[in-house]
Amino acid sequence: MIFSRTNYLIMLAGIALIVIGFLIMTMEKAEYGFGPLGLTIGPAFLMAGFLVEIYAILHKDKNSGTES
């Protein structure tokens, strides 16, 4: 496999953060999402989710040298 089980679990966590970020932005009651949820909290979750995805792709296990 290209990625280990740990990588896939980290990727799932990143996807969950991205989905939560979009859900937070849709919960905004202000017009066009110009409130605190749509402008700060939702995008912060999105950025965190994408950073977690990048980390999951670049993450190497300490015992990745052994093929099983």
Q: Which structure tokens are listed for 66?
A: 């052994």
- 30 within some domain: yes
Helix (H, G, I), strand (E, B) or coil at 21: helix
pLDDT of res. 64: 63
Structural domain harbouring 11: 5-58
pTM for the predicted model, two decimal places: 0.85
> 29 in a domain, yes or no?
yes
- Domain-located, residue 24: yes
* Domain presence at residue 66: no
Structure tokens at 28: 């905004």
Q: Measured between alpha carbons, how far is 6 from 10 in angstroms, rounded to an integer?
A: 6
Q: How many domains does the chain have?
A: 1
Question: What band does 65 get if pLDDT is binned at 50, 70 and 90?
Answer: low
CB distance 55 to 3 below 8 Å: no
Q: What is the pLDDT of residues 35-63, one digit of tens each?
A: 888 899 999 999 999 999 999 999 988 87
pLDDT reported for residue 66:
55
Between these two residues, 50 and 32, which has the higher pLDDT value?
50
Assigned token pair, 65: 């040298």
Is 67 among the domain residues?
no
Q: What's the whole-number mean pLDDT along residues 14-37?
A: 91
* Residue at 68 is within a domain: no
Helices (H) and strands (E) in the chain, counts: 3, 0
